[in-house]
Structure 1
């Protein structure tokens, strides 16, 4: 066979062509007419809808890629060709121009920065190592980006200012005033409101440079001595504490002696006054007793003689006493009951 084509397929195609021709001429009532195929029309509709869906999907993807959400604790910086076009502060949903604008984030909440350790000389020429930390925040994102570029540079500039201010402030205090934060009766420490002064001065320098950041607080974490000076300082501190303790002991001993002397003087005065009052009272009692005796015995002299005689007996006669009395002696007369 020289022809590989299907003869039945060729006949079908010829038949379909005749039917299309008749339909084109308006003869639509011919028996056995087969309507034209709808496959090309359906393919075109499908391609159209596919194109529409693809376009919608691409638009949705582009929109989703260019929508950004601003949170409560952040700034969103919108740039166009590297230049800042706007800074969004309020939380919510925003959109940027596709392929032209970009969005970066800056924190709005307070941050903690550990300042590098540094050696500082006090007023009395003592070297100490100060370790500080700072709590800070961004107040104006546009100024911060314009003058510091990023957070790292802003922290470095803040650290420079903190170091210079702390150096100036501690240079006016002695070593003892720096390490001693005890408060007096007025609730005031020996180094005063050092942290407040440092914070205020650092903020003044940052405002002058328009860095758009604010230091909330600067605090000392640790105060150390250089290793080569540590032992000598400890020795001196021990000596000073011992000297102070001895001073307190001497003052306490002197105060003790003064109190004891004052107490002895008051006791002596009280005893002398008491003895004087007792002597006066005793003398008055003796006088009153003598008066009573005189008034009583003057009423009966004989009874008085008897009473006095009996008193002399009680004083002169003991248990083993032997008395020899003349018959005419007063004792004998009293004992015998004879009275002239």
Structure 2
């Protein structure tokens, strides 16, 4: 028998095994590829975000609720939009007030995406939405401040910024809703007002003059109040002194009356003593160091002066 008719079973078995290994390897490669394809097209929707699914550039679905989502491979794409509130710093702008004065305003806005589909359809991106929002804010602020005088804007006592911010927020939202931008402005605030450089010095000078005038007004009012208080105090003092004097005179009169009564009671008990006392009292009133008295030597007055009691 020739060698050509001999079959090597060992070589045949090895070939069969390699074919099986190859098939298994291909199967695992395909399985891994499928798994990679599946997992690469899964996405997670987190709290505070929207997932926008596009197909050939068009929005086909928006996932809003947290959880796991899936897109069709190679056909669909996923982009993320924020659901939380965002702050946008509006660019500085120059406006004219009602009294024809120029000023620079600086605002900021707090906003959020309410309808992602409308926002994408009309603004395309978050940057586009902020750009349109800024245009509306500038337009409304310029119109509102154009109805106010400069003093009403910068003077704290006359300022209507509180109600102004509310009006601007409301009107900006009306414009955004009218054009279906799908975003809502929560608040618009004026954080700073400045003057153009060429106007600063003149305004500062006028403000200083106003403050000095106000200070003088306070000083004048203080002086007037001081003079009024002093006058009232002087009047009250005079009234108190007059009342005290009147009461003192009354008490003195009562005391003198009481003293006279006591004197009368005492003197009525001894007439000669009373006569002598009255005489001595008259001496006290009429005789001093410069008095010259000429009396007869036998007069009672002279005898008393000389010490005779008989």
* Residues matched between the structures, number: 309
1:86-109 per-residue CA deviation (whole Å, 9 max, x = no partner) reads: 111122221111111110111112
Once residues 203 and 87 of structure 1 are traced to their aligned partners in structure 2, the CA distance between those partners, rounded to angstroms, is 23
Q: Deviations over 1:251-301 (max 9, x none)?
A: 322332233223222322332232222222222221222122112221222
**Residue 327 of structure 1 contacts residue 333 of structure 1 at CA under 8 Å; is this kept in 2?**
no
8 Å Cα contact 1:173-1:191 kept in structure 2: no
Matches within 5 A, 1:254-269: 254-269=224-239
Higher-Rg structure is 1
- TM-score w.r.t. length of structure 1: 0.80
Aligned partner (choices 11, 14, 17) of residue 3 of structure 2: 14
Q: Distance in 1 between matches of 2:128 and 2:187?
A: 19
Contact between 1:128 and 1:224, CA under 8 Å: does it hold in 2? yes
CA distance in 1, matches of 2:114, 2:46: 16
Aligned with residue 91 of structure 1, among 66, 69, 75: 66
1:148 aligns with 2:123: yes
Among candidates 52, 68, 80, match of residue 55 of structure 2: 80
Q: Any idea what the Cα deviations from partners look like across 1:184-222, whole Å, max 9, x if unmatched? A: xxxxx5544221221122112212222111111111221
Counterparts of 1:316-327 in structure 2 under 5 Å?
A: 326=297
How far apart are the structure 2 equivalents of 1:222 and 1:291? 91
Structure 2 residue 144 is the aligned partner of structure 1 residue 174: no
- Structure 2: runs of 5 or more not aligned: none
Aligned alpha-carbon RMSD (Å): 3.0
Q: Take 2:98 and 2:7, find their aligned partners in 1: how far apart are those partners?
A: 115
Conserved 8 A contact 1:96-1:102:
yes
Alignment partner of 2:103 out of 108, 128, 137: 128
- CA deviations over 1:143-196 (Å, ceiling 9, x no partner): 11112111111111111111121112212222122112359xxxxx55442212
| Corresponding position of 1:296 | 266
Question: SS at the partner of 2:88?
Answer: strand
Return closer, same or farther for 1:231/1:336 CA change in 2, 3 Å cut-off: closer
Report the counterpart of residue 25 of structure 1 in structure 2. none
| CA distance in structure 2 between the aligned counterparts of 1:282 and 1:73, rounded to whole angstroms | 96
Q: CA deviation at 1:337?
A: 7.5
Distance 1:63 1:255 in 2: 88
Task: Tell me the secondary structure at the aligned position of residue 173 of structure 1.
Answer: coil
Report deviation, 1:138. Answer: 0.7
> CA separation of 1:190/1:144 partners in 2, compared to 1, >3 Å: closer, same or farther?
closer
* CA positional deviation for 1:236: 1.6
C-alpha separation in 1, matches of 2:305 and 2:271: 15
Partner Cα separation in structure 2 for residue 322 and residue 276 of structure 1? 41
Separation in 2 of the partners of 1:249 and 1:46?
A: 105
Identify which of 220, 245, 261 aligns with 1:275.
245
- Helix, strand or coil at the partner of 1:193: helix
Change in Cα spacing, 1:281 to 1:19, as seen in structure 2 (3 Å) is closer
Matches within 5 A, 1:157-236: 157-182=132-157, 190-236=160-206
Match for residue 52 of structure 1 among 8, 12, 27:
27
1: CA distance, partners of 2:205 / 2:292: 91
Q: Which moved more, 1:323-332 or 1:295-304?
A: 323-332
Unmatched tracts of structure 1, length 5 or more: 1-10, 21-33, 184-188
Query: Does residue 138 of structure 1 match 2:109?
Result: no
Deviates more, 1:70-79 or 1:329-338: 329-338
User: Would you say the 8 A contact 1:180–1:190 is kept in 2?
Assistant: no
